[in-house]
Amino acid sequence: MKKSFSYTTSGTCSRQIDIVLDGDRIESVKFIGGCSGNTQGVAALVKGMTVDEAVSRLKGIRCGFKPTSCPDQLANALESAK
């Protein structure tokens, strides 16, 4: 069963993440704002992963001295979706 939702980010250049899940698998991810090449790369890499696998790989990644990053925010969004 497909599920779509949007997540408002905090502490990053991206403002929002739009996610489509097919069961527990990531069908698509689109970042609104942020570093285009990096966010497109992250979105392409997680496509087809399970939510748990993506969260375990992305959770806790920091951007410079910031306490979070776009990948970390994606992990938060995926945890919220569960």
Q: Measure the CA angle with vertex 50, ends 67 and 3; round to 5°.
A: 95
Contact (Cβ atoms closer than 8 angstroms) between residue 69 and residue 13: no
In the chain, what are the domain boundaries?
2-81
pLDDT tens per residue across span 18-55:
999 999 999 999 999 999 999 999 999 999 999 999 99
The overall average pLDDT reported for the chain is 97
Q: pLDDT above 70 covers what percent of the chain?
A: 100
Contact (Cβ atoms closer than 8 angstroms) between residue 2 and residue 27: yes
**Tokens matching residue 60:** 């806790």
Q: Across-strand partners of 32?
A: 16
Q: Which fold has domain 2-81?
A: Enolase-like; domain 1 (3.30.390)
